[in-house]
Structure 1
């Protein structure tokens, strides 16, 4: 989903750091083998995730929604040696594809980190995770966004960053809601929740399909 004219969007991408070769390879394989490849974060948003991660340098990251692993790899770029990223997805069919790229990334000389994949419902897995996190990326099924938020708030360190994807939902957040639409009402409530929660400092960015950055106070 593009919220800027295509020529402006192309200009922005052209003047942003290029994605690494591993991500180009993953993008190509995802488009060749996986339905709904549009779910990839994409080169521009990926560079934003990488930049935020480099600035934060988180030791522990939790991602909800692995897909084929693109966003996890972008975040992993900014994580220090010895850090850990846990990524959860309900789709076991994509586990091996993402896992191959995670292994390739972690085996490289510059990325001495651990990426752990967990398959299953995130709401069942989150309570079983020990310790707390410095960064969380929410990019899973939209009807559960509020449930995910309440679950992860038990798992964040002070100063942690919470990134929430697809919060503009193809522009539907400013349109009349279809009575059969189960996602938009939740995202409307979720966006308001992030803005009003006194534990957070929140900014919504019009990056791709909307990306919210919240800082835990």
Structure 2
């Protein structure tokens, strides 16, 4: 969802960093061959993820929700040379496409793919993270945060996507809408939890930046 006019949105994209060639190819192939291509982070958000990662210079990155691998490659741009990026997704149909582009990138040997339930996989990861990107199933956002927070290094950053949920967070709540209900609770948690300081940005469908204290 875009909260700005198309003209202003185009201006913002035109005056931001260009999309790298490999990501252009992945972007194109995602739209041509994969269901629900709107799930792709896209050019502008991808550049936001990239520059945040470059500012943080993480050694260990965790991504929840690989999709076709676009956002993982954006996050990897700021990773330290000896760093690792762990990315988790349930959809085995996209593994080959992810691997294709990971191996074509400069980070193929630094990206570890995990196939399965993130709630079960996260506790098995034996490392502390400097940067986490949550872009997976919304009903588990609170669960993910509670699993991740103890695995964060002080000063680490948690990025949470889709937190404005196409504006549903300010509309009357449908009791059957579990995703919106959880996102409301999640946004409240990030605001009130003393372990993090948080700012919510109106980037695309809402992106929260939470710094671990």
Q: Is the 8 Å Cα contact of residues 61 and 86 (structure 2) preserved in structure 1?
A: yes
Residue 213 (structure 1) aligns with: 209
Q: How far apart are residue 113 of structure 1 and its match?
A: 5.6
Residue 130 (structure 2) aligns with: 134
Q: How far apart are residue 180 of structure 1 and its match?
A: 2.2
* Structure 1 unaligned regions, length at least 5: none
Distance 1:140 1:25 in 2: 23
Residue 81 (structure 2) aligns with: 81
Count residues with an aligned counterpart: 213
Q: Are 2:172 and 1:176 aligned? A: yes
Structure 1 segments of 4+ aligned residues over 3 angstroms from their partners: none
Q: Is the 8 Å Cα contact of residues 82 and 112 (structure 1) preserved in structure 2?
A: no
Residue 62 (structure 1) aligns with: 62
Q: How far apart are residue 194 of structure 1 and its match?
A: 0.3
Q: How far apart are residue 26 of structure 1 and its match?
A: 0.3
Residue 8 (structure 1) aligns with: 8
Q: Could you list the per-position Cα deviations for residues 105-159 of structure 1 after superposition, in whole angstroms to 9, with x for gaps in the alignment?
A: 13xxxx5860010000000000111011111000000000000000111211111
Instruction: Map 1:87-106; keep pairs closer than 5 Å.
Output: 87-106=87-106
Residue 38 (structure 2) aligns with: 38
Q: Are 2:185 and 1:189 aligned? A: yes
Distance 2:5 2:144 in 1: 33
* Structure 2 unaligned regions, length at least 5: none
SS in 2 for 1:79: coil
Match of 1:115 among 111, 116, 134: 111
Distance 1:202 1:82 in 2: 28
Q: How far apart are residue 178 of structure 1 and its match?
A: 1.8
Q: Is the 8 Å Cα contact of residues 81 and 112 (structure 1) preserved in structure 2?
A: no
Residue 145 (structure 1) aligns with: 141
Distance 1:182 1:112 in 2: 36
**TM-score of the pair, normalised by structure 1:** 0.96
Q: Is the 8 Å Cα contact of residues 204 and 210 (structure 1) preserved in structure 2?
A: yes
Q: Is the 8 Å Cα contact of residues 161 and 213 (structure 1) preserved in structure 2?
A: yes
Q: Is the 8 Å Cα contact of residues 102 and 108 (structure 2) preserved in structure 1?
A: no
SS in 2 for 1:183: helix
Residue 156 (structure 1) aligns with: 152
